[in-house]
Each structure stands twice: as C-alpha cells, then as structure tokens.
Structure 1
Amino acid sequence: MGGYHSAKILLKSIDYHDIMINYGIHHDVVSTLLKNELSELIALEPDCIIICCNSLHKYYDMIKVELNTSIPVMHAVELVAKHLNSIDQRSELLLATKFTMEDGFFAETLQQHNISVTLPDQGERERMDQIHAELMQNTVTQKSRDYFASLIKKYQSSGVVIWGCTEYPLVVDSTNSVLPIVNPICLQVSAAVNYALSI
C-alpha cells in the first residue's frame, strides 16, 4: 500500500500448557477452551482470524458451528489443500507433532482433496516428538537439524514436505531440506493479507 501502513492486529495469546496437557486425551477440554477464547475475540469484531497453531484447527472444526460467526478463519489445513491443488501436487510428506500425525485430522482433510499423504513410521514419529519437546524448551541443535534432513531425504519421492507443526521451521529450512517446503503459517498470512486488501 506504500507510505507507512501497517495492519491493525488483535492478538490473543493462550496459555499453551492448558492445551498441551489435554491434546489427544480430553478433546472436550481443548475445544471448550478454544471456543471461549475465540468467542471473546469474535466479540471484538475483527475482519478475519488466524489460529497460529496447526493442531488447534482440529478443535476449531469441532466448534465452528457453535461459534455462529461470518468472520472468516484462515484455515491452515484447507489452505494447504488449496495450495497443493493449485500447483497440481498430489502427494506430500506430512511432518507434524505426534498427535497431529496420529490423530489424522490433517491427513484426512488433504485426502478428501485427492492428495496422497505420507507419514513417517512409528519410530520416526517418536524421535520427532522428542525433538518437538526440545523445541518447546527453546533447545535447537545441529543433531536435530541433521535428523530432519535425513528423514526428508528418505521420503523425497513424496514431492513436497508440509510443516504440520509451527515449531519445525526452527530446525528445517531450504538449506537442509531436499524437498520444497509448504508452510501453513505462510499460507495463512498470505490469505489474511489478500483478504484485508480486498475489503
């Protein structure tokens, strides 16, 4: 837009501890927490909403009807599906938290859009979970970077790699991935910017 323009942003930060300890165990607790937080945000009448956590999109899908709002949400998984279809990419490697990979909500949405999803095996998911725990404590090591580089190389026939975890860009980027990276955060931001400029 030129000049000195910047976006007006309402940021609502949630205590992640309350979410993390209930993932995959107490779905009702997480969905209720998200519903309450989003309801407060919706009351402030933003133009659109971004949920800055991939896993929380599972719970958004569970409560979106109850929210009863016309305010658009830049849905990470739907945006990934739309992007992959736009570039005619029908297969991908999904790297995410153990919960996201094993719960299936991310992969199932992509499969509904005729996109084939490859997941690492059980042992690899366990190792990724250990690295994720380190990242949550701000521990970023070369060993972790090397592990992801080798993992992606093993599955390079997948075509692209999807970041189903918002922490993984701390250890993987274009310098150590043999596959092109699709980052849902970037897709969400682009969608929000495009929407904001269109209204």
Structure 2
Amino acid sequence: MQTIGLIGGLSWESSAVYYEGLNKGVQARLGGLHSAKVVLVSVDLAELDELQDAGDWDRIAEILSAAARGAEQAGADFLLLATTTFHRVYDEVADAVSIPVVHLADLMAEQIVARGYKTVGFMGTAFTLTDHFFAERIGSHGINVNMPDELHTDTLDSIVYDELVFRTINPSSRKRVLGIIDELTDAGAEAIVFAASELSLLVRPQDADVPVLDVITVHVEDALDRALA
C-alpha cells in the first residue's frame, strides 16, 4: 500500500471527511483491521484566506509548497491538495516536489466523461465561480460547464464560509442549494459538480433529482485506486 499525502485544513471540516473516506475505503477494499497510510500536513485556513483577499498568491504558493515538501519528506508517495480554491497554485505546488500531485479538475473531468455527461452545472465558492480557472480546466476536456446565476454567488459563498466550515447544517441552506441545482438542471445540466468540498456536508447525492459529483468522493476514490494498485 502506498502512502497518501494530504494537504488539509482548507477547511479542516472537509479534511476530516477526506481522512474518514480514505480509511473507510481501505477497510472496505481490504477488510479486517486495514486502514489507510496517510501523511497529513494541515495549514491554517485563516492565514491563507487573508492572503487570498490581499491577492498574494505567491505567498499562498510558498505555504502550500512547503506543506507539500513536508508531506514528501514524511514518506508520501503522491499528494492530494484537499481544496478546490487553492488549486489556483497547483503548478507551483507540483513543481515543489518530486512526487505526483493529483489535479482535482482533471479527475472530475475524467469522471464526467466516463459517465457520458456532456453538460454539467458548477457550484462552488465565490472565487471559483468568478475566477473560472477550475471550471475552465474541466471544460478543456470537451465538457460544457454551466455556472449558476450571478445572484447566487454570494449565497453559495456565505453557506460555505459562514456555515459549513463550522459544520453548521442549516435546512434552509440545503433548500436554497437544491433550488440552484434545479435551475442548473432546467438550463440543461445533466449532472452537478460540487466544486466546494464543504457542499457535500450539506447536500447528499440522494437529496437531488440529478447526479451530483462532489470533489471529495472523486478525489478519495482515485487516491484509493492509486494507493492500492
């Protein structure tokens, strides 16, 4: 079994879901007392959030690159960057280490193509909805990526940063997210991409009338395949 490197804390709530998923996945595949071999390097989200607000992506890249080197030095065979927003500095992080760093947008695109979807709805934080770097990378695989109405940008951002990062589950927020999903579906989306990992804490696949692909599940399943190959 290979050792999975995980850069977490972005948020720690979603990182906990990653860790649980990796261990449950190994146990399900191997049985008995088996658990995942994981090196976790956790960073301070507040620090990176302030740097993001200031537009200091160079410093963000330095912090996450240092975390990646720490994971590599601790024995990780490959690395997961457990965040969507901070994939903005993926190239810098990948260049800082000699082990593979899995790009989440490429994994998501592979899953979309494998399932035969041509058009997906995209939901995430304000940054990923307005910067488009993550959606454009998915789109580079020949997939149509539809964004929600701009009126929903602040709503989704608030649900993630004011509620879900503190694991506050608000039924009214679930209803609002499901309403946005319905709008995207009505506009032609065959499936929905949850590009903010925390959204999977609020809405489960069975809650929606259309397939939902969340980044944590896609990331974890690929990591398990790699670690146990």
Per the TM superposition, whether the score is higher than 0.5 is: yes
Sequence identity percentage:
26
Q: Which runs of 5+ in 2 are unaligned?
A: 1-29
**Distance in 1 between residues matched to 2:218 and 2:118, nearest whole Å:** 18
Separation in 2 of the partners of 1:174 and 1:81?
A: 18
Counterpart of 1:38?
68
For residue 95 of structure 1, report the CA deviation from its aligned partner.
Answer: 0.4
User: Closer, same or farther in 2 for the Cα pair 1:23/1:179, shift >3 Å?
Assistant: farther
Distance 1:185 1:166 in 2: 6
Aligned partners of 1:48, 1:183: CA distance in 2, in Å?
21
The structure with more strand, counted as a fraction of residues: 2
Equivalent position SS for 2:122: strand
- In structure 2, how many angstroms separate the alpha carbons of the residues matched to 1:127 and 1:139? 15
Equivalent position amino acid for 1:116 in 2: N
Partner of 1:49, secondary structure, is strand
**Higher helix fraction: Structure 1 or Structure 2?**
2
| Cα separation, 2, equivalents of 1:187 and 1:138 | 21
Q: CA RMSD in A?
A: 1.5
Give, in angstroms, the shift of residue 83 of structure 1.
0.9
Q: How far 1:135 sits from its partner (Å)?
A: 1.9
Instruction: State yes or no: 1:84 paired with 2:112.
Output: yes
For residue 75 of structure 1, what is the aligned residue in structure 2?
103
CA distance in 1, matches of 2:93, 2:101: 13
* Alignment correspondent of 1:195: 226
TM-score by length of 2: 0.80
Quote the offset at 1:174 in angstroms.
Answer: 2.5
Deviation at 1:4, TM superposition (A): 2.2
Q: Which residue of 2 aligns with 1:153?
A: 182
Q: Which residue of the other structure, out of 36, 52, 71, is the alignment partner of 1:7?
A: 36
Partners of 1:68 and 1:139 in 2: CA distance: 36
Deviation at 1:68, TM superposition (A): 4.3
Matches within 5 A, 1:113-128: 113-128=141-156
Instruction: Please tell me whether residue 51 in structure 1 is matched to residue 86 in structure 2.
Output: no
- 2:214 corresponding residue in structure 1: 183
Distance (whole Å) between structure 1 residues aligned to residue 35 and residue 165 of structure 2: 30
Which residue among 178, 198, 207 is the counterpart of 1:167? 198
Question: Pick from 64, 87, 112: which aligns with 2:94?
Answer: 64
Which whole-Å deviations, capped at 9, do the CAs of 1:144-193 have from their partners, x for residues lacking one?
A: 01101111111112010011001111221134322201112111111111
Change beyond 3 A, Cα 1:68–1:37? closer
Q: Answer yes or no: is the 8 Å Cα contact 2:90–2:103 preserved in 1.
A: no
Which shows bigger deviation, 107-116 or 46-55?
A: 46-55
Aligned counterpart in structure 2 of residue 130 of structure 1, from 145, 158, 167: 158
Gaps of 5+ in 1: none
CA contact (8 A) 2:39 2:75 kept: no
Question: Which one of the candidate residues 100, 124, 136 is aligned to 1:96?
Answer: 124
1:75 Cα offset (Å): 2.0
Query: How many angstroms does 1:3 deviate by?
Result: 3.4
Is the 1:92–1:116 contact (alpha carbons within 8 Å) kept by the matching residues of 2? yes
**Which amino acid letter does the alignment assign opposite residue 17 of structure 1?**
A
Structure 2 distance, partners of 1:187, 1:172, is 16
What count of residue pairs does the alignment treat as equivalent? 196
TM-score by length of 1: 0.91
